[in-house]
Structure 1
Amino acid sequence: MIELKKVFGLVLASLVMFGAMSLSAEELTDFPADYSDELVIMVNINLDDAEKMAVALAGIGPARAAAIVAHREEFGPFASVEDLLAISGIGPRTLEAIRHQLVVGDS
């Protein structure tokens, strides 16, 4: 147990020491300054269920998510994310807000 405390102490000291020398995310990547560290959940509009869509996509609640699935079941798979514009309540602004999360595929 004492050995584990020593190891933990060394790891913590190393993190503090190296943390002071670390670079910011903007210095290490090409991400824009407004890049967020939040988790992005990808949604396949041809495979995922309404529950996942409603939880993952901002502005898409249970009713719109159910409408997406119903449209897919009635008319077949979506050819592109722009096809979501045929769903009542999904307009260009909503689509642009979630586009980065959308995948169109059959597998």
Structure 2
Amino acid sequence: MKTLLTFIASFLFVFAPITLHAETTNDKYEGIEITVNINTAGVEELAELLQGIGPAKAKDIVEYREKNGDFQSADELTAIKGIGSATVSNNRDRIQL
């Protein structure tokens, strides 16, 4: 019996952190209204708060904004390579100008 309990404890010790860390950004902010101003937010904020946008795309958003000026609409994000209308649609409620 002691061996079985040791095995179970070892199993939980190894795999519990993996399961607990599986939280996504969506789960982290569930129930909280999230908005991000795409004309003022930095790379980290964009990557953290916009679904489907990682650090590389967030950097592209900031670089596009610096080169072309403020975004006039959320749909203008599709001018950035790798950001499609589905990504904009998934984030529409989060995006502020």
Q: Same fold (TM over 0.5)?
A: yes
Give the Cα separation in 1 of the matches to 2:53 and 2:33.
Answer: 15
Give the Cα separation in 1 of the matches to 2:85 and 2:75.
Answer: 9
Quick one: percent identity of the two aligned structures?
43
In the alignment of these two chains, the number of paired residues is 68
Correspondence 1:46 to 2:46: no
Aligned to 1:72: 65
5+ residue gaps, structure 2, are 1-29
Give the Cα separation in 2 of the matches to 1:93 and 1:52.
Answer: 20
5+ residue gaps, structure 1, are 1-36
Which stretches of structure 1, 4 residues or more, deviate above 2 A after TM superposition? none
Give the Cα separation in 2 of the matches to 1:50 and 1:99.
Answer: 18
Aligned to 2:78: 85
Q: TM-score, normalised by structure 1?
A: 0.61
